[in-house]
């Protein structure tokens, strides 16, 4: 199997299969556990932090392109991801009744993070098909904002290892797959609650993981340009993931489950990431 085919297969399992499995679980149970989702997300966030900070960023520095270029690429990844997320939130938040001055300045539920609550709101009002379609596109864009950077970290790690699927890329794929399970549940439940057939809802949920593959290809192809491209790929992917972890995953996991356990789960994830990288 060639390099690109291996990368596509790996990210397909992490993105499409992981999200689809979550959609299937959501279709069977039609509910989720805030405690379980919170701890799973915070653990995944901890592992991602380890891989980004102790592997991807280190490799970006070692390309020899200069520390300022690495910092600039990381800052660009943070800025682009934040700005796109800000545009989606600014458009959709006023449409949801409980999003007001008393609401936390970040998502306190997985449904809010990926804007499936936006779609559910339109279903509840029996809006026309165009409104539902637009809401679906908004949700797809919100999911893509998470999945593309996640895929880029796999692709960039793959490129930095000369096209060999190393341990860092593999563990990223596994963790991203686990992270996508609760996300898939959050997508399928409102679709089914709105009257969509379970099979169709699961297929649509699985398809929402496709941006992971696109991100992986982008990260790998950019990294293959040369040292400069590899630095930009590793840095941008790292910055985007740092924003997703610190700006969304960790605040959301704490708001979903008011306890010290998400903090401990994050620390365990960081330590697990260290073991994976250095053993």
Sequence length of the chain is 279
Select the more confidently predicted residue: 144 or 86.
86
CA-based radius of gyration for the chain = 18
Q: Can you give the pLDDT at residue 134? A: 79
Read off the pLDDT of each residue in 209-226 and give the average, rounded to a whole number: 89
| pLDDT class of 121 with cuts at 50, 70, 90 | confident
Domain borders along the chain are 3-278
Q: Can you give the pLDDT at residue 75? A: 97
Residue 164 predicted with pLDDT over 70 = no
Q: Can you give the pLDDT at residue 264? A: 96
Q: Can you give the pLDDT at residue 166? A: 65
Of 22-26, 124-128, 153-157, the range with the lowest mean pLDDT is 124-128
Residue 275 predicted with pLDDT over 90 = no
Long-range contact pairs involving 24-29 (C-beta distance under 8 Å, separation at least 24): 24/184, 24/188, 24/202, 25/181, 25/184, 25/185, 26/184, 26/185, 26/186, 26/187, 26/188, 26/189, 26/192, 26/205, 27/188, 27/192, 27/198, 27/201, 27/202, 29/185
Read off the pLDDT of each residue in 41-53 and give the average, rounded to a whole number: 88
Read off the pLDDT of each residue in 104-114 and give the average, rounded to a whole number: 77
Q: Can you give the pLDDT at residue 89? A: 84
| pLDDT class of 165 with cuts at 50, 70, 90 | low
Residue 265 predicted with pLDDT over 80 = yes
Residues with Cβ < 8 Å from 152, sequence gap 6 or more? Answer: 215, 216, 218, 219, 233, 236, 237, 240
pTM above 0.75, yes or no: yes
Q: How far is CA 185 from the centre of its chain?
A: 14
Q: Can you give the pLDDT at residue 180? A: 84
Bin 66: left if φ > 0, else alpha if -120 < ψ < 50, else beta.
Answer: left
Select the more confidently predicted residue: 140 or 245.
245
Q: Can you give the pLDDT at residue 32? A: 59
Q: Can you give the pLDDT at residue 129? A: 76
Bin 126: left if φ > 0, else alpha if -120 < ψ < 50, else beta.
Answer: left
Q: Can you give the pLDDT at residue 260? A: 92
Task: State how far the Cα of 257 lies from the Cα of 178, in Å rounded to an integer.
Answer: 18
Residue 242 predicted with pLDDT over 90 = yes
Q: Can you give the pLDDT at residue 78? A: 95
Instruction: Summarize pLDDT for 5-33 with one digit per residue, the tens.
Output: 888 888 998 889 988 998 888 888 756 57
Q: What angle do CA 142, 148, 154 make, to 5 degrees?
A: 150
Question: Torsion angle of alpha carbons 165, 168, 169, 170, nearest 10°?
Answer: 80
Read off the pLDDT of each residue in 42-50 and give the average, rounded to a whole number: 89
């Amino acid at each position: 199997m060639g390099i690109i085919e291996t990368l596509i297969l790996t990210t397909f399992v992490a993105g499409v299969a992981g999200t689809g499995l979550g959609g299937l679980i959501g279709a069977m149970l039609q509910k989720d556990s805030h405690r379980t989702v919170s701890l799973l997300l915070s653990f995944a966030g901890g592992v991602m932090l380890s891989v980004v900070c102790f592997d991807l960023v280190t490799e970006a520095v070692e390309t020899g392109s200069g520390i300022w270029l690495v910092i600039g690429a990381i800052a660009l990844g943070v800025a682009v991801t934040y700005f796109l997320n800000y545009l989606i939130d600014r458009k959709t938040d006023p449409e949801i009744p409980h999003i007001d001055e008393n609401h936390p300045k970040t998502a306190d539920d997985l449904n809010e993070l990926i804007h499936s609550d936006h779609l559910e709101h339109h279903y509840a009002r029996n809006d026309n098909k165009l409104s539902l379609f637009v809401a679906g596109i908004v949700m797809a864009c919100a999911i893509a904002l998470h999945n593309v950077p996640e895929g880029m970290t796999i692709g960039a790690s793959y490129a930095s290892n000369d096209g060999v699927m190393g341990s860092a890329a593999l563990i990223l794929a596994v963790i991203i797959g686990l992270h996508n399970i609760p996300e898939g549940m959050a997508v399928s439940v409102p679709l089914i609650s709105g009257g969509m057939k379970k099979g169709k809802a699961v297929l649509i949920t699985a398809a929402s993981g496709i941006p992971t593959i696109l991100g992986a290809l982008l990260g790998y192809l950019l990294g293959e340009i040369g040292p400069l491209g590899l630095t930009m790929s590793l840095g941008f992917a790292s910055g985007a993931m740092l924003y997703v972890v610190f700006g969304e995953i960790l605040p959301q996991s704490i708001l979903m489950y008011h306890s010290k356990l998400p903090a401990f789960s994050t620390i365990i994830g960081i330590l697990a990431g260290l073991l994976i990288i250095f053993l």
